[in-house]
Amino acid sequence: MEDAVTTLSSPNGRSTGLARQFALAIALASGTALLAVPGFTDAAHAQRAKKADKKKEAPKAAYSKEFVASYQPLDEALKAPDANFDELKPRMLAMTPLAVSPEEQQALGGMIFNAAILGKDLPMQLQGVEMMLASGNIQPEEQGRFNLVAFQIASNLNQHEKARTYLQRAIDLNYTSANVSMADLQMNMAETYFSEDRHSEGLAYLSSAIAQRKEQALPVDERWYKRGVAIAYTNEVVPQVYDFVSDWVGDYPTAENWRDGVNLTRNLNDFDPQALLDLLRLGRKVGTLTEKNDYIYYIEAADPRRLPLEVKELIDSAYSSGIIPKGSDTFVDEQYRIASGRIAADRADLPALERDAGAASAQMRTVLAAGDAFLNYGEYAKAVRFYEKSLSLPGVDRNLALTRLGIAQIAMGDAAAASQNLAKVEGVRIPVARLWGAYAAQLLKDSAAPQDVATEGSVATETPATVS
């Protein structure tokens, strides 16, 4: 992936390198390619045509005698093997006032452009192509290409507003070629903003282009998401970065993409322990816990005194994977001992907790604690019931309750309801909820696919015995 979102295996490992820009695959205006521009019909030819058919009225001359007299010798001089561009440049520019008719403007513009290509003079190249476009004499099927040439030259001159104007015209004309797709043009429009550090505007354009393709049922190139994520992440453009991340993992749910999505969310935020816990729960589901510190943070956030079974199963997975060999870390071993020792007594207290939390007079803290306890022990229907009840009580942390309600609903197989509740989350938990929402959307997509065909590149979505 782009430099800015690779090697994010641990928090605060953010790279400052910008992602590589898209290369527009065209040869025009590259310093080696000439535009084929029709030449002008000289006055002598017009006179010959008049004599050949005196009964027909001769067409109005498109080229003045003054223009022809200046153009022809200059054209011959430019075609000479020993032509010196620097010496002939003033003569070309001096002809500009003589180019009055559309045909004259097209012919002189073509001469200036092609001569400037050979002379590697970008400003003069732009002057030539602009003169041709202003003539109004370019064939309709060629206008997109000429506007694209003007865009590229203006971009090379860092004239970004002008470049965007020409690029938008090429887009409006639906210009494409064997090497240039409409997607390339749209991506390059976003790049014009990024090159000026106008990141929010570029991201807004890119987001709109993505939405447009989705409305048309067209695939979105993964590079669009990666570029948006890289720009938004490196420049800390929030909350747009979370929109790109959630859409990216939604359309391309590979383990690597999920790892980057979870880890960049950690890196951009200083979450409180409970929000971090819910993010790490997702990380465990999608396989992003790959380092010792990932498990340490999770253990500390979960706390074996509050969620003993979840902590025990987490440490079991760390032991079995070899990420934390058993006996290699005294803190982990001690937390494992505490968690293992509390499970039996904790389970025995569940009926009383359920009774107290279910009472009409139950306080918010008791109800929320019951939701957490039953989520810990994999009794998801009960967890859902108590999280839903907590939302009706005064003083509840609504965003925490909605997040965990969504997590419990996912675990019990109701991804549709989970998506609705996760979308209601506000505040600092939005990044966590957006990722869980993307995960719920993936489950819905997978459930709609043929059961005997695995979704290509998707992460495993098995539901464990308890929340993870």
Token code pair at residue 179: 């090497």
Pair 456, 434: CB distance under 8 Å: no
| In the predicted structure, residue 44 carries a pLDDT above the cut 80 | no
Q: How many Cα atoms sit within 13 Å of 118 on the Cβ side?
A: 18
Stretch 279-289: mean pLDDT: 95
The arithmetic mean of pLDDT across residues 278-290, rounded, is 95
Q: What does DSSP assign to residue 393? A: S
Contacts of 441 (CB under 8 A, 6+ apart): 250, 415, 419
- b/e sequence 165-180, b meaning 16+ C-beta within 10 Å: ebbebbbebebeeeeb
Distance of alpha carbon 285 from alpha carbon 253, whole angstroms: 13
The total of other beta-carbon atoms located within 10 Å of residue 85's CB is: 16
The pLDDT mean for the chain works out to: 87
The boundaries of every CATH 1.25.40 domain in the chain are: 1-23+180-268
For the ranges 25-34, 187-196, 255-264, the lowest mean pLDDT is seen at 25-34
Q: In this structure, which long-range contacts are made by residues 186-189, counting pairs with CB atoms below 8 Å and at least 24 apart in sequence?
A: 187/22, 187/221, 187/223, 187/224, 187/227, 188/22, 188/24, 188/151, 189/164
Cα distance between residue 199 and residue 192, in whole Å:
10
Share above pLDDT 70 across residues of the chain, in percent, rounded to a whole number: 83
Please identify which residue in the block is written with the tokens 């359920």: 354
The CA distances from residue 263 to 84, 228, 254, 409, in Å, are: 59, 16, 14, 24
Q: Which two tokens stand for residue 294?
A: 């990932």
Average pLDDT over residues 396-421: 98
Q: Residue by residue, what is the 3-state secondary structure of 88-148?
A: HHHHHHHCHHHCCCHHHHHHHHHHHHHHHHHHCCHHHHHHHHHHHHHCCCCCHHHHHHHHH
CATH topology of domain 1-23+180-268: 1.25.40
Query: Can you tell me which residue has the tokens 């539901």?
Result: 463
> Which tens digit of pLDDT belongs to each residue from 45-55?
444 444 445 44
- Of 100, 91, 120, the C-alpha closest to 40 is 100
More confident residue, 451 or 317: 317
Q: How confident is the model at residue 61, as a pLDDT?
A: 52
Q: Is the pLDDT of residue 466 over 70?
A: no
pLDDT above 70 (res 4): no
pLDDT digits (tens, 9 = 90+) for 225-243: 999 999 999 999 999 999 9
Contact 28, 148 (CB under 8 A): yes
Is the pTM higher than 0.85? no
